[in-house]
Each structure stands twice: as C-alpha cells, then as structure tokens.
C-alpha cells in the first residue's frame, strides 16, 4: 500500500479524447412548473456559484431580482450573463449589514421572498479561519432572518449536509440528529456547526414569530462558475489542475464518497421550495426542511479519474494527507423533496464533468 504523501496513481488513457467542438450545454430549469406571478426576490450571496445561477433562473422565470454580495467568494463575472436585464439589481455589501438589504428592497419597491445563500464556504477556511466562518455565517443569518420576518417575506435558507456533522447512518434523513465531534483536534465542523445553528435561527423565527421559513440542503453541487482554486470545490479543483498541467492532488486515498449534483438540478429544487405555497402533496412548507442531491455515491478518486478522462491531461494523481474530520460518506434521503417538490436529479457525474470541462475552456 503506498504511503500517504508519496504515492502516485498512474492512469493510462489509451485513446485521448478527440478534439471537441466547444459547445457549452446550458441546463435550464425545464422541470419546473409554470412561473407564478412575478415576485420580488432578494438573493444573498448571488455573486457566488449557486447564487448567480439562482438569480439568473429567477429572472428567466419573470421575477424581479436583487442580489446582495460582498464578493468575498463571489465574482462580478458570475453575473455578466444577466447584469443588464431590466429587472436585476446588484448591491455590493455585507449581508450582515441590514442597510444593504434595505437598499436592495428599495430598488425592488419591496420584497416578497428572500433566498439566503450568503456564507463563507470552502474546506480550507473551515480549518484555517473557523472564527471567521462561524462569525460571518451566524451574524448574516440572524440579520437576514430578522429582515424577512419583519417584512412578512418568505425565506428559503440554504443550509448544508455539513449541518448533520459526522454520521454513520445513511442515507441522511431530513430530521436526523446532528452529531459533532470535539473541536480539540481540528475545526473541520466550524462550517457545519454554523449551518446547524442557522437552522435553529430559522426554526425559532418560524415557531415564535410566524416566519414562512423553509430550509434546503444541497448536496455537493458542481457546474459552471464553481471555484477551482485552493478555496474551491473538488470537481473544479481537479479540472483546473488538469488545465494547468499540474498533478491532481487527492486528500487521503480518495475512497471517501460524495453525491455530486448538477447545479441546475439544485436550482430547480431551490426555486420550487420558494415558489410553492404548499407542497405538491398538500403538505405545509412552513418550517419544512429538504435534502436535494443525487443518490449516486462517487468516490473522490473516481472524480480524479474522470478529470483525466475528459481533459486528456498528461498528469498523475497524487495522494496527500487527508483533511482531519472528513466524512467518509454522505448520501441524502431525497424522498421528501420528491413528494413535496417533485424534485429529481437528472445529470450523472460523467456527463456533468464533461460539461464542466467544456465551460472551463471557453470561460
């Protein structure tokens, strides 16, 4: 067995991919029902990966959209495709500053629904700046929840499967008890704990102040606009390493599994949860929480292999020391989302990685 930090996995591609005609496949929200009457939608963190796709999809569906983002992780480039649309407004600023939210509200002449995605994410931040992760994520959520509650606006809080902590029971049900290890040895769960506490903030406002709050937990989203730098996510990191002709670096042996979910599938779920007054099965959505994600478990080393396959890069897969506290598996139970939201995952990881690579080459 190779030693961590020294091993190299060689993968031979017998026939590299033929030169591709770079045609980006843009997945639209075609699985959604017709749009309801236009709503005024405030999207926090709308300059980021998921947030920008959400803002664009909402505009396409005829809604008015205001994005508030301080661009700590977001990018103006993520909003280029829709920034000139007449019903779009961008407010640069910290979402924990209520004046920035009020400015967005003023631009739209009110607000009907708040999609709260703003947060500090990225595994390196969890370990290196847990104080910042916890402070920003909780303060921002407190501010946004109070803002929505005071205005009688609907709120969709984007939580995370990280909010479950360390789990052995799979799949992860919507109401599974969270389990967090001692922070004595590492701070891996600073982000997950902040999302868990964020859910408490939302549920308290639902039960005590009448907020129409809903919670959604996207599982391992990937697609165009995903960050591929050291603070990014694994699918984009591996593809960008191939593009730069750098070896692909695995944290640990790559046997840990995740359920990677194409971005537009996630956007469909988030929009459905925001637009529906009640579940398709007649259930109340106030205070409800849902997992949305592919149920196809994929080992991280398979993502590395796919990166080599779709890029044809002549690089190697190198094992490095793993992240302490990393979950070995993470699989969602999506039955509630299927029944109440009519949600399903439609894009498999092989097709999705190819689409990502096409986008990276034309970005």
Per-residue pLDDT tens listing for the chain (363 residues):
333 333 333 333 334 444 333 334 344 444 577 778 899 999 999 999 999 999 999 999 999 999 999 999 999 999 999 999 999 999 999 999 999 999 999 999 999 999 999 999 988 899 999 999 999 999 999 999 999 999 999 999 999 999 999 998 999 999 999 999 999 999 999 999 999 999 999 999 999 999 999 999 999 999 999 999 888 899 999 999 999 999 999 989 999 999 999 999 999 999 999 999 999 999 999 999 999 999 999 999 999 999 999 999 999 999 998 778 889 999 999 999 999 999 999 999 999 999 999 999 987
pTM equals 0.90
Domains with residue ranges and CATH for the chain: 38-362 (3.40.50.720)
Per DSSP, the residues of 13-74 read -SSPPPPPP--------TTSPPP-S--EEEEETTTSHHHHHHHHHHHHTT-EEEEEE--SS-
Tell me what pLDDT residue 33 has.
Answer: 75
Instruction: Let me know how long the chain is.
Output: 363
Strand, helix or coil for residue 202: helix
Candidates 190, 304, 84; CA nearest to 180 is 190
Alpha-carbon gap, residue 260 to 357, rounded angstroms: 15
9 and 319 Cβ atoms separated by less than 8 Å: yes
Q: Which two tokens stand for residue 147?
A: 């803002």
């Amino acid at each position: 067995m190779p030693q961590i930090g020294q091993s190299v996995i060689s993968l031979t591609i017998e026939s590299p991919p033929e030169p591709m005609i770079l045609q980006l496949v843009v997945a639209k929200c075609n699985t959604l029902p017709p749009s309801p009457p236009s709503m005024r939608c405030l999207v926090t963190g709308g300059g980021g990966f998921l947030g920008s796709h959400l803002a664009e999809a909402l505009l396409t569906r005829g809604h008015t959209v205001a994005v508030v983002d301080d661009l700590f992780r977001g990018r103006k480039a993520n909003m280029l495709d829709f920034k000139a649309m007449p019903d779009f407004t961008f407010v640069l600023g910290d979402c924990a500053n209520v004046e920035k939210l009020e400015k967005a509200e003023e631009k739209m002449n009110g607000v009907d629904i708040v999609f709260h995605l703003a947060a500090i994410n990225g595994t390196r931040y969890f370990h290196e700046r847990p104080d910042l992760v916890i402070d920003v994520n909780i303060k921002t959520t407190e501010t946004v929840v109070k803002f929505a509650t005071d205005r009688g606006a609907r709120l969709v809080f984007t939580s995370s499967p990280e909010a479950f902590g360390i789990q052995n029971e799979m799949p992860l049900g919507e109401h599974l008890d969270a389990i967090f290890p001692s922070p004595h040895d590492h701070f891996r769960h600073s982000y997950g704990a902040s999302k868990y506490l964020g859910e408490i903030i939302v549920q308290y406002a639902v039960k005590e102040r009448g907020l129409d709050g809903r919670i959604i937990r996207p599982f391992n989203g990937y697609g165009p606009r995903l960050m591929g730098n050291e603070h990014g996510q694994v699918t984009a990191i591996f593809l960008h390493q191939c593009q730069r002709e750098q070896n692909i670096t695995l944290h640990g042996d790559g046997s840990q599994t995740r359920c990677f979910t194409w971005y537009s599938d996630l956007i469909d779920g988030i929009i459905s949860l925001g637009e529906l007054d009640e579940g398709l099965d007649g259930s109340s959505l106030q205070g409800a929480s849902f997992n949305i994600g592919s149920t196809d478990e994929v080992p991280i080393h398979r993502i590395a292999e796919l990166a080599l396959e779709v890029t044809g890069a002549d690089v190697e897969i190198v094992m490095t020391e793993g992240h302490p506290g990393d979950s070995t598996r993470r699989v969602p139970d999506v039955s509630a989302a299927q029944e109440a939201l009519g949600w399903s995952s439609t894009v498999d990881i092989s097709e999705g990685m190819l689409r990502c690579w096409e986008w990276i080459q034309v970005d």
